Structure 1
Amino acid sequence: MRGGDEVRASDLVRATGASAMTIRRDLSDLERRGVLRRIHGGAVGLPARGAQLPFQVRSETHVEEKRGIGEAVAAMIPDGSSVILDDGTTCGAVARALAGRELTVLALSVHLAAVLAEGGDASGRGIRVLTPGGELNPGELSWSGHRAVRDIEDFRADIGVLGVCGWDEESGMTASTLQDADVKKALIGSSRQVVAAAAAEKIGLSAVFSVCPSSAVDTLATGRLSRERRLWLEQEGVDVVCCA
Structure 2
Amino acid sequence: MNSRQHTAGGASRRQAMAEHVMRQGSASVTDLAEAFGVSVMTVHRDLDELERQGMVRKFRGGATAQASNVFESNIVYRRTAHQEEKEAIARHVARLIEPGSSIMLDDSTTALAVARHLGEVTPLTVVTNFLEAIKLLAAAPGIRLMALGGEYHPTHDSFLGVACVDAIEAMSTDMVVVSTSAVSDRYAFHQEQEIVLVKRAMLRSASRRVLAIDHSKLARVALHKVAPLDDFDTIVVDSRAPAEAVQLLREKHRNVEIAEL
Counterparts of 1:51 and 1:9, CA distance in 2: 13
For structure 2, list consecutive stretches of 5 or more residues without a partner in the other structure: 1-17, 32-55, 57-62
More helix by share: 2
Counterpart contact for 2:211–2:232, Cα < 8 Å: yes
Letter in 1 for 2:210: V
2:81 to 61, 86, 98: 61
Deviation at 1:10, TM superposition (A): 9.9
Which residue does 1:32 correspond to in 2?
Answer: none
C-alpha distance after superposition, 1:83-111 (max 9, x if no partner): 11011211111000113621111112111
Letter in 2 for 1:148: C
Letter in 1 for 2:148: P
After TM superposition, the structure 1 = structure 2 runs for residues 1-244 of structure 1, keeping only pairs within 5 Å, are 6=21, 8=24, 45-49=65-69, 51-99=71-119, 101-120=122-141, 126-169=142-185, 172-223=187-238, 224-244=240-260
Which piece of structure 1 moves more, 186-195 or 220-229?
Answer: 220-229
Decide whether aligned partners of structure 1 residues 50 and 61 sit closer, same or farther in structure 2, where only a CA change above 3 A counts.
closer
Letter in 1 for 2:251: Q
For structure 1, list consecutive stretches of 5 or more residues without a partner in the other structure: 16-35, 37-42, 121-125
Decide whether aligned partners of structure 1 residues 9 and 161 sit closer, same or farther in structure 2, where only a CA change above 3 A counts.
closer
Letter in 1 for 2:66: L
Decide whether aligned partners of structure 1 residues 5 and 155 sit closer, same or farther in structure 2, where only a CA change above 3 A counts.
same
Deviation at 1:45, TM superposition (A): 2.4
**Superposition RMSD on alpha carbons, in Å?**
2.6
Counterparts of 1:150 and 1:243, CA distance in 2: 33
C-alpha distance after superposition, 1:99-128 (max 9, x if no partner): 3621111112111111122322xxxxx001
Counterpart contact for 1:217–1:238, Cα < 8 Å: no
Which residue does 1:25 correspond to in 2?
Answer: none
Decide whether aligned partners of structure 1 residues 238 and 174 sit closer, same or farther in structure 2, where only a CA change above 3 A counts.
farther
Counterparts of 1:103 and 1:4, CA distance in 2: 33
Q: Alignment partner of 2:188: what SS?
A: strand
TM-score by length of 1: 0.77
Which piece of structure 1 moves more, 225-234 or 191-200?
Answer: 225-234
Counterpart contact for 1:220–1:238, Cα < 8 Å: no
Q: Percent identity over the alignment?
A: 28
Counterpart contact for 2:108–2:178, Cα < 8 Å: no
Q: How many matched pairs?
A: 209
